[in-house]
Structure 1
Amino acid sequence: MRLQFKNVSLLLVAQLVSYLIPILEIPILAKALGVDQYGQVLIIQTTALLCSLIVEYGFSLSGARQVAVCGPENKSLLSAIYNGVNSAKLLLSSGMIVVSMGVLSILDFDLDLQLILWGYLYFLAFSFSNIWLFQGLEKLTFVVIFELVLRFAGLLVLYLLLNVSANASFALMIMSSFSLFNTLVGLYLAYKIVGGFNIDFKSGVEQIKSGFHGFIYKSSNNIMLSAGPALVGVMCGQASVAKFVPAEKIIKASVGLVGPVLIGLYPYLSRRLLKTTSINLKLSSLIVAFLFAAGVAGATIIYALGDFLINLMLGPGFDEAKSILQVFVMIIPFRMMNQAIGLTIFMPLEKDKILSMCLMFFSLLSLCLAALFSLWYDLAGIVYGLVLAEVLFSISLILLAYKIK
């Protein structure tokens, strides 16, 4: 398990850096570019990242699982998997480019052509990242460290050069160039492993079909994590959003730390579970129990520090935000457990369809319960509904996992 521990540690560091870099970019870009140009960069950047998530399509789960089961020894199968996934990404990215060009032609964003072109390169760099391949092979050390070094180098270059030429296109050129260089190095490393590239659209379509439920799982998970503020704004008004979002960010940051642990263990469990299910389900159960206990401990700490955290983020005068956080923390152990059950039992055993349908149902249920409870309890009702849906989701996954076992 030493290799798995190293991979978990690397992914945890990468996750923390992914939180840190965007925060550090804000003052650099905002001060150098001003409101209008900074807004242009944000439009391009967020749109490119959103489109790249669609192109990624859950291959970090379905593709990595195939690679983990295949192993590095079977070169022909590994090459077929890799080329199939990249062919699928080529199809999806082509579709996103066509759609985005149509949207740009209809809506007037007042963006110059150079800025748009750099935005497309930024999109392609993230879309064709090969991290899923190295994740499946459990060879993450170089690619993760190299990416971290590049991200900090890009931030430094951004800081130094924007003082010389404060221009939105120039800023996006720097950001996309470093991302593109990272992807090109990943492609070179992949070439050394798989031995050659080719486009196979038939295989790409098959990968899209087989990865559909993994995509639905990730998409529904994002809805479950991100729909809260919009619902609060609709049901309780804009003032309530300011009280809800700080608590939500604390919860998301806490739960987000479990992701690298599960992703680091995922290839190992995928390989082992499909071979000796009964033995390794005991390991999965231990991981689920441990993460639930860790969630309880984390929720207790955040509950105790609630006043301090809200005062630190918002200052005095936000007493309702403190009470919201103290209720919201109850969701932490259940959400961590749900993610653990999904990524240590259902996904490794190729029960993607069951998991994705279940998550989609409870994502919608959480929104319905939150909206319903808000009619009686206002902002607190939103939180009650979200927590209750998460608990019901936990119960359902445990019962389904027991049947699998």
Structure 2
Amino acid sequence: MSDKRRLIENFSALTIMQFLNYLLPFITLPYLARVLTIEGYGVYIFSQSFIQYFIILIDFGFDLSGTREISINRNNSKKLSEIFSSILVIKFILMIISFIFLVILIIFVPGIREYWYVHLLMFLMVIGNLMFSIFVYQGLEKMKIITTLNAGIKIFFTITIFIFIKDQNDLPLVALLNSVGYLIVGVLSLIIITKNTSIKFKIPSRENLINQLKYSSQFFWSRIAVSMYTTSNTFVIGLILGPVAAGFFGTADKLFRGVVSLYQPLNSVLYPYIAHSKNISLYKKLFKISTISNIFIVLLVFLFSDFIINLIFGEGYGESAVLLKMFMFAAIYMMPSILMGYPLLGALGYTKEVNNSVIFASILHVLLLLAFIPILSVKLVACLVIITELIVFIYRFYFVKKYCLLDTNKLLP
């Protein structure tokens, strides 16, 4: 199979996966919001967000560092097995640490202890995520498998929710069903890797473990930084301005991130492809096409933001429509910023520049957010998001130009 054909197939597979990621939750969430009542639904959403931090910890940036290493060493079976085994062992150790920390929080934090059983059931997601070695499939550019497995999670959860969940007393069952899907897919993922590839698990050396930790740490801090200037906004707004304001902001932010994530499939397939092919000519063509289509999509969302908000969330969310329009200014340059990140700078070895762009912007964002607490408003936070994403874009653009990465005549690293 040619590289371009593989790229198209992988992009198509990830596009389907991204579509399911947004379609199926819009089917289940309105139903859960009604049958679980406001309190039960709030606990479910909080627990999901809470457990997500543990998932970020055990991933430790391996979805990026591991993807690049697997892609580069795809023809070296011994090296692939070393990478896979080292990452799996590290993730297992981090999972044990995460579980201990979760138990400590349950014991000493009343707000978490009240629904301890929900959090423990949701923690099974972490175990499933540990086994779902997505970096292997991305590195080997076998995106069809990822799509199939991911679709399996979403469809399983959607069907079982409508069958088994009837009222607020079923909250623990919601958490369990959510986690069981991840566990099943995680097990299947490991079976497919060991049966259908040359990768085999073997006890890694201490040196390999240390090297993997060191290499991936820069990606991990980047992931933490991104989380700080995305999830921290709704949290601070809810804490200072109350749940209604948080609801307005969170609604607009969710749709904004949804628009930007339309390009995640392209981002995911280009990263390993450029890492091993260095095909800058194709990258430039896709970059131009994506930039033009992005402007068109952003313009549509901006013009029809009121209609979109009313259609999905109902009346009374006028403030969210205003915020969504503001976010569209950031969406214009976020798409090229994303494609200049790991698919270009990161794939060509300039991971430090990519990671530093979000770390620097994150620190600045959090400091400004704290400084403006006395005069905080949802529109002010939206302005901070626009500024933060612009800083990331300028930072990455500077280094792309500095290293002449779009010069097809330049000998790339």
Shorter-chain TM-score bucket reads 0.7 to 0.9
1:185-224 correspondence runs (5 A): 185-192=188-195, 193-200=197-204, 202=206, 203-224=208-229
The aligned counterpart of 1:142 is 145
**How far, CA to CA, are the matches of 1:195 and 1:65 in structure 2?**
16
Alpha carbons 1:373, 1:384 under 8 Å: kept: no
SS in 1 for 2:362: helix
Partner of 1:55: 58
Tell whether the 8 Å contact from 2:323 to 2:382 is kept in structure 1 after alignment: yes
Q: Which residue of structure 1 aligns with residue 94 of structure 2?
A: 92
What amino acid maps onto 1:352 in structure 2? T
Residue equivalent to 2:407: none
Partner of 2:104: 102
- Give 1:31 shift: 5.6
What residue in structure 2 maps to residue 16 of structure 1?
19
Number of residue pairs the alignment of both structures matches? 397
- In the alignment, residue 91 of structure 1 is paired with which amino acid? I
1:356 equivalent to 2:359? Answer no
Deviations 1:81-127 (A, max 9, x none): 110111111121121112112112223424466x5654443320122
Return the offset for 1:21.
Answer: 3.4
For 2:138 and 2:17, how far apart are their aligned partners in 1?
Answer: 13
Secondary structure of the structure 1 residue equivalent to 2:138:
helix
Q: For 1:214, what is the secondary structure of its paired residue?
A: helix
Which is further off, 240-249 or 102-111?
Answer: 240-249
Shift of 1:244: 3.5
Q: 1:93 is aligned with what amino acid?
A: M
Change (3 A) 1:227 1:36: closer
**Does residue 1:244 correspond to 2:249, yes or no?**
yes
* Contact preservation (8 Å) 1:122, 1:175: yes
Matched, 1:159 2:129: no
**Residue 310 of structure 1, CA deviation:** 3.7
Identity of counterpart residues, as a percentage?
A: 20
> Please, which moves more after superposition, 390-399 or 50-59?
390-399
Quick one: distance in 2 between partners of 1:397 and 1:225? 19
TM-score, normalised by the number of residues in structure 2: 0.84
CA contact (8 A) 2:122 2:178 kept: no
Partner of 2:70: 67
Q: Work out the CA distance in 2 between the residues paired with 1:332 and 1:51.
A: 28
Deviation larger for 250-259 or 212-221 = 212-221
- Against the structure 1 CA distance between its residues 282 and 371, is the aligned structure 2 distance closer, same or farther, given a 3 Å change threshold? farther
Query: Contact 1:37–1:168 (CA<8 Å) still a contact in 2?
Result: yes
For structure 2, the residue ranges without an aligned partner over 5 or more in a row are: 405-413
Is 1:373–1:385's contact at 8 Å kept on the other side of the alignment?
Answer: no
Distance 1:396 1:165 in 2: 47
Cα 1:22–1:355 shift into 2, 3 Å: same
TM-score (norm 1): 0.85
- Distance in 2 (CA, whole Å) between partners of 1:10 and 1:309 is 27
Q: Tell me if the contact between 1:70 and 1:78 (Cα under 8 Å) persists in the aligned partners.
A: yes
Deviation track 1:220-266 (CA, whole Å, cap 9, x = no partner) reads 22333333334545776666545433332322110011112110221
> Does the alignment pair 1:182 with 2:217?
no
Which amino acid counterpart does residue 101 of structure 2 have in structure 1?
V
Residue type at the aligned position of 1:263 = S
CA offset at residue 194 of structure 1? 3.6
Q: CA RMSD in A?
A: 3.2
